[in-house]
Amino acid sequence: HVDRLPEMQEARLRLPVLAEEQVIMEAVKENSFVVLCGETGSGKTTQVPQFLYEAGYASGIIGVTEPRRVAAVSMSHRVAKEMNLSTSLVSYQIRYEGNVTADTKIKFMTDGVLLKEIQKDFLLQRYSVIIIDEAHERSVYTDILIGLLSRIVPLRNKKGLPMKLIVMSATLRVEDFTENRKLFPVPPPVIKVEARQFPVSVHFNKRTPLEDYSGEAEVHSVCRRLRRAFPFRRGRTATDTAEEMRRFKKVKLKKTVSLPRIDLDNYSALPVDEGDEDRQAGIDEEEGSDLELGDPPADDEEKADPSLPLYVLPLYSLLSPEQQAKVFRPPPPGTRLCVVATNVAETSLTIPGIKYVVDCGRVKKRFYDRVTGVSSFKVTWTSQASANQRAGRAGRTEPGHCYRLYSSAVFGDFSLFSEAEITRRPVEDLVLQMKDLNIDKVVNFPFPTPPSTEALVAAEQLLVSLGALEEPPRTRLSCPISPLGRAMASFPVAPRYAKMLALGKQQDCLPYVIAVVAAMTVREIFEDLDRPAATEDESSTLAQRRARLTQMRRLWAGQGASLLLGDLMVLLGAVGACEFAGCTPKFCEENGLRYKAMLEIRRLRGQLTNAVNSVCPEVGVFVDSKMAPPTESQVVCLRQIVLAGLGDHLARRVQQEELLDPKWRNGYKTPLLDEPVYIHPSSALFKTLPPFVVYQEVLETTKMYMKGVSAVEPEWVP
Ligand code: ADP
Ligand code: MG
């Protein structure tokens, strides 16, 4: 029995998925596999676990996987609140943290967490149901999990321990799952939830400006400019007391004054005095009045007034959870909420009460070159499915509008759907995980969309060179896993880094290897201080902070022998210094480090330390917040450990006689690329230019730059 608060019950009843409860639960009862489709916001994530709980499926754990950590955490809190249950019953587990207890009945987790659990217990015996959420995102782990569960569920049924799998998708495009006979010999039933979606009028731009939005820096710069154009002064309203809220609501009810609406057609309200972003984008007054508009809605009579305060909030995945939570709270009285978001707002989080969506039509994605391994972030057009998803966000609570900053012709050229991630990235981590699950012939795995054969071959080659797989007996695609490979698979990092951990116990290097690996696997630890400043004040602050960061990088790089560990020494120094100072927001702010990244490194260090101790308990490694810098001989040892993991990322300085082009000076040759790659000016080795280096990855920006560079002694080169 669930004892919900009346207001929660009322809110639930408004969700479209509630009308389908009986249909869904009958399908689940009759079938092992069920696919559920419903628009974002229809209540799938928050309600289906509750249906299962109430229908008696909580004899085991009801597991829900999410491709994003933000969603796992926020959904577990939301469901606990709706059910009026404690977070020891409705819990979450993400890579580094969680609040799962022995009593947990509903568990939200990232898909990676469940994959790790399958390695420990292939039959997932503690679970009664697994829900794979956001399957339309086609994240690699989601795809793998569906493949694995297509085998696990029948095995469980055969053992008399029945289990259910529910795949939930925000789009109707589920044929890759339902029509794939290798995956499900009998197609699972598909239940569609009719969303109570209000109409959204879509307005296309006549012309399509050339601009790339969508990252964190862009979010901030748009926020700043909106705040200046529609200022909201932090005065009395900022205290935002409950009393004021009540008073505000009363006034609103009595006089039924609705808040004035800004006119999104009026682009000229945006200041065009800073930078030249607007001009580049081709948005000027003329263009603003050039929009193809549909019939204006009847209630849209108010004229735009730039003096109306906007309450502008950023939203992106690296933002701290406290900042993220703000979008769910009502904005201060007298203001209108305006959220400037990346893709996270497309499907995983439903922001309440959004009426207007402005869609730039772009997406920033990482692209890998399958042959060379070079990756780059590119801003490309999104898919039609994603654009429609974005538009749909405007019609959750009343009719809305979506303004597309591109023409209908351009929209017509978008691909219909985004492609599955597994076809776009290296797969060595997956291949190792699968081998560890004794899936030897990875080519035969029931992938919803299989990765290319080339990608699988490249992955096996790398794993053989790392020693994680035995040399192939004859056919290349069935190399068995080695004991080293098993140890590596137990570390929650990519195989190259796992190899470094596996080697780390020599010369008491483990604590350093753990810290370096933790720092290398966390996305960007330094703040982006090269971003354009909004004001002169900010510009001088940024310049000061940049200078400080440069100075600190030099300090962290150390001197003498340690310099040769290069950028990895800088990472190690930064982690050491930050932990020494107690890992405070203040220290990070002052020294150009991202607080969120540093916290992640701290958690990962703890987790890796535990993982290493369980693989080789005799080393008894622990996390030392006052870690002394490595000695000279330890640095030499560390450099070799790094080389062992990154051996296929070796680069040799371009020789005099190879200088085909003056631009190649100071360049490096790699086995796979014709063109040279370079050491970035911010690198600790920019001035040293050692004859041989290894690098973490090549990222193509203005040039092909190596990231995470460390020097290699010529005699170590195989
Ligand atoms: P779906 O999974 O189908 O996209 P959800 O179950 O996530 O739908 O959301 C259902 C409703 O619950 C949405 O209207 C959303 O706004 C609301 N909701 C979800 N999380 C929160 C939260 N933390 N606070 C307030 N409302 C929320
Ligand atoms: Mg959802």
For residue 418 the two structure tokens come to: 């985004």
**Alpha-carbon span 581 to 626, nearest angstrom:** 9
Give Dmax (Cα) for the chain. 84
Q: Is the CB of 43 under 6 A from ligand 1?
A: yes
* Atom of ligand 1 minimally distant from the CA of 347: 4
Calculate the dihedral angle through the C-alpha atoms of 36, 42, 45, 47, rounding to the nearest 10 degrees: -100
Residue nearest atom 6 in ligand 1 by C-alpha distance = 43
Structure tokens at 92: 């979450």
Give the three-state DSSP class for 654. coil
Lookup: tokens for 632: 């000279």
The whole-number pLDDT of residue 266 equals 30
Nearest in space to 308 (alpha carbons), one of 361, 233, 367, 393: 233
The two tokens of residue 353 are 């009460």
Closest ligand 1 atom number to CA of residue 17:
3
User: For position 291, what pLDDT does the model report?
Assistant: 27
pLDDT value for 211: 57
Indicate if ligand 1 lies below 6 Å from the C-beta of 42: yes
Indicate if ligand 1 lies below 6 Å from the C-beta of 48.
Answer: no
| Beta bridge partner(s), residue 110 | 66
- Extract the residue ranges of the chain whose pLDDT is less than 50: 235-304
Residue 367 CA to residue 378 CA, distance in Å, equals: 7
How high is the pLDDT of residue 650?
Answer: 94
CA-based torsion, 188, 455, 524, 717: positive or negative: positive
Ligand positioned closest to the Cα atom of 389: 1
Ligand 1 binding pocket mutation candidate from 8, 136, 350 (most atoms within 8 A of CB): 350
Question: Residue 50 CA: which ligand is closest?
Answer: 1
Residue 50 beta carbon below 6 angstroms from any ligand 1 atom = no
Task: For residue 488, give the H/E element and its range.
Answer: helix 483-489
* Ligand 2 centroid, distance to 1 Cα (angstroms): 24
* Helix-, strand-, coil-residue percentages of the chain, each rounded to 5: 45, 15, 40
Backbone angles phi, psi at 307, to 5 degrees: -80, -10
Q: How far is the CA of 16 from the centre of ligand 2 (A)?
A: 13
DSSP for 516-575?
HHHHHHSS--B--TTSPPSSHHHHHHHHHHHHHHHHHHHHHT-SGGGGGGTHHHHHHHHH
Separation CA 346–CA 338 (nearest Å): 15
Confidence (pLDDT) at 303: 39
pTM of this structure? 0.72
Three-state SS string over 429-487 comes to HHHHHHHHCCCCCHHHCCCCCCCCHHHHHHHHHHHHHHCCECCCCCCHHHCCECHHHHH
Show Cβ contacts of residue 8 under 8 Å, excluding neighbours closer than 6 positions: 81, 82, 84
CA distances from 194 to 43, 176, 191, 347, 378 (A): 11, 21, 10, 17, 35
The answer, yes or no, to whether any atom of ligand 1 lies below 6 A from the CB of 76, is no
Q: Is the CB of 91 under 6 A from ligand 1?
A: no
What ipTM describes this predicted complex?
0.98
How far does residue 352's CA lie from ligand 1's centre (Å)? 8
Ligand 1 atom with the smallest distance to the CA of 133 is: 2
Q: What is the pLDDT of residue 475?
A: 57
User: Does the beta carbon of 671 sit less than 6 angstroms from any atom of ligand 1?
Assistant: no
692 forms bridges with which residues in the sheet? Answer: 652, 712
Residue nearest to atom 25 of ligand 1 (CA): 328
Residue with the nearest Cα to atom 7 of ligand 1? 45
Picking from 558, 702, 708, the residue whose alpha carbon sits closest to that of residue 630 is 558
What's the confidence (pLDDT) of residue 306?
Answer: 56
For ligand 2, the distance from its centroid to the CA atom of residue 87, given in whole angstroms, is 19
